[in-house]
Structure 1
């Protein structure tokens, strides 16, 4: 009888202790990021942004009393590597996956996080990412269907453009952006004078630039990754191109400015996030990031940082660590900086996982990105 009593007491004690042990265990966030290869600049910024947010969150007591354990793996900028790493996320007991940043990688890897029912935040911009009915995918950046109409409106209202030449990268990111952009031009009556495809990692842009010059369009729209954008700008200046050069996010990024040097001056781009925004919270983030990593963050750094704080905010709204409940709560949610300063800007998410918020038009002057206009959320114009 005494043995039975002892066992009963032991089991009762175990039942009481287990929830406390679970509460004490860290919540695991897995990063799938481009730390090498063509996406290293983007992935490193994104990863460092997440790490900075995690450091701050843990210093403030964690999420619902639990510390955050963040571990990141290098996708090598390869979609199949990203897919293989995503398959391991469930075995690693991931609560949320952050990344990849490149559209080509997330389009492949997100099937695995969906199968595992793990919420997945991405920095990718390809429209197709959130058009597949995946309830577990969420953006930290605008989809191309949100950003490109803003660019098209700028070309019409500010540059009075009637024709445009396009230089784009022939990958999921570039092709997707090119397709959405050309469609966004139609309501404004802007015609495509030259449609110029380039390869990922392309070094020589002399032929592409020559085609753009011969098209004699009112504006040139450049939509490539960082290294290619810098090479294109250098070649454009070398060949004396004198028409407005406009892009989306990448073209005026810190990395492009560093690589292109003086050739970046005059370039204009729409950006969803920028460390140069005239906002005290964003400026404070940029200063903390610079101090922590000794370099200036680009838009990907802000994506990672704000994305991690969105994870914190929504988890606290749900009140528990439940991936499905988290994903359900994300759809239609509104988060304000007043209530959740770490999200950096007021933001809303729709039923597809796309976000909407204010954004900025930027221009490179004297080797620095400057904000020349703040644009309202796209939904504000509907």
Structure 2
């Protein structure tokens, strides 16, 4: 009997020790981002800002006394690579994963995280359908395309454009935004004179620009990403065609002007959440100062800042629940987090995992290639 009691005592002690130390181990948080490929600058900024936040958190004692370990995987800005990156993260013991940039890339990873029971917080993925699937552990700090489409349609109408050309790249994000905008413009009676897709990654878009010119639009709304938009602006100028052109939030990156050149980019305008230079929250200003001190640069766009917001709400959920548990994090974020003071403004989520509130603003590129927030 003594042996039985001793065995039970040891077993109980072991179980209590395991319970006590389950949260004492490093809290692993994953980051999936494009460190290679055409969006590499976005991914590198994402990694920089989340690394900065993790380092500062650990210096301050971590989460409830527990260190945070950041696990980073490169998705290459490609759906196939993203699936592999997600599989690696879900088997590495992360309680949540941040990322990624690009709706199609995020979509390729969603089911992997969901089946593994891991929270995923997307940062630059705005396609509507991502949060219409009923995934309990999926959220995003970025807004949705239907919100952006509504703002785009209102802006086109307010500026008095009567003949609109819509150009996308067949990606989940760009086609989704084009479709949302087209539906609203059709409803308002605005004439759509062109609706088609380009092939991303090409170096010569003069053929599709020639088709666009023949349609005689008052405005081109290209909903694609900044590498292609930059090429279109440059080649449109080379054709000596000065029709106005606008874009969506995927155009919001400093590399746009590097690709197009300042002269070609002048007057181009786009919709986006506020850029890093226009964030007025005290936390944002403090973070950007620390970022510049560490990396001798500033983030190229708002999307890496939204990755920082994702990291902070995960930390807030773990602190508040006292649990390094994916299910508890998702429940807390969707039902209890209200008006968290994020870098990009107050953060709350609805039951679908969408961020609540309108973030979109209008930017115009000036003669110096700077993105100027419009009143």
TM over 0.5: yes
Q: Deviations over 1:279-305 (max 9, x none)?
A: 143344333323322333112211111
Change (3 A) 1:27 1:57: same
The equivalent residue for 1:361 is 362
- 2:266 is aligned to 265
Matches within 5 A, 1:152-301: 152-157=153-158, 159-262=159-262, 263-277=264-278, 279-281=280-282, 282-297=284-299, 298-301=301-304
Q: Distance in 2 between matches of 1:64 and 1:185?
A: 51
Secondary structure of the residue that 1:161 maps to in structure 2? coil
SS in 1 for 2:164: strand
Between the two proteins, the alignment pairs up a number of residues equal to 369
Does residue 1:325 correspond to 2:298, yes or no? no
Does the 8 A contact of 1:194 with 1:212 survive in 2?
Answer: yes
Q: 1:361 to 1:328 in 2, by over 3 A?
A: same
Task: Name 2:133's counterpart in structure 1.
Answer: 132
Change (3 A) 1:286 1:215: farther
TM-score (norm 2): 0.90
**Are the counterparts in 1 of residues 224 and 248 from structure 2 also a CA contact under 8 Å?**
no
Question: Could you tell me how far apart the structure 1 residues matched to 2:202 and 2:112 are?
Answer: 31
Q: Report if the CA contact (8 A) 1:162-1:189 is conserved.
A: no
The alignment partner of 2:22 has SS state of helix
Matched, 1:151 2:160: no
The whole-number CA distance in structure 1 between the counterparts of 2:266 and 2:335 is: 39
Tell me the SS of whatever aligns to 1:229: helix
Which residue of structure 2 lines up, in the alignment, with residue 311 of structure 1? Answer: 314
Output the CA distance in 1 between the equivalents of 2:149 and 2:55.
34
CA 1:23–1:257 in structure 2 vs 1: closer, same or farther (change >3 Å)? same
Instruction: Give me the whole-angstrom Cα distance separating, in 1, the residues matched to 2:237 and 2:348.
Output: 40
Deviations 1:137-195 (A, max 9, x none): 111211211211111111112x1222211222122222222212212323433221111
1:183–1:62 CA distance, 2 compared to 1 (3 A): farther
Do 2:149 and 2:178's aligned partners in 1 also have CA atoms closer than 8 Å?
no
User: Matches of 1:190 and 1:315 in 2, distance apart?
Assistant: 49
Q: CA deviation at 1:311?
A: 1.1
Match of 1:380 in 2: none
Unaligned runs of 5+ in 1: 374-382
Secondary structure, counterpart of 2:348 in structure 1: strand
What does residue 94 of structure 1 align with?
94
Q: CA deviation at 1:345?
A: 0.7
Q: Is the 8 A contact 1:99 1:106 kept in 2?
A: yes
CA deviation profile, 1:96-119 (whole Å, cap 9, x unmatched): 011232222221211011001111
Contact 1:251 1:268 in 2 (8 A): no
Farther off after superposition, 23-32 or 179-188? 179-188
Distance 2:114 2:4 in 1: 46
Shift of 1:13: 4.2
Partners in 1 of 2:373 and 2:51 — Cα distance?
A: 27
Contact 1:49 1:303 in 2 (8 A): no
RMSD over aligned CA atoms reads: 2.3
Pair 1:333–1:175, CA change in 2 (3 A): farther
Query: Judging changes above 3 Å, is the alpha-carbon distance between structure 1 residues 146 and 64 closer, same or farther for their aligned structure 2 residues?
Result: farther
Q: 2:65 — aligned with what?
A: 65
Is contact 2:77-2:105 (8 Å) kept?
Answer: yes
1:2 Cα deviation from its structure 2 partner: 7.4
**SS of residue matched to 1:73:** strand
2:57 touches 2:63 (CA, 8 Å); kept in 1?
A: yes
Query: Are the equivalent residues in 1 in contact too, given 2:279–2:344 (CA < 8 A)?
Result: no
Q: Deviations over 1:51-95 (max 9, x none)?
A: 222222222322233221111111222212211232233321110
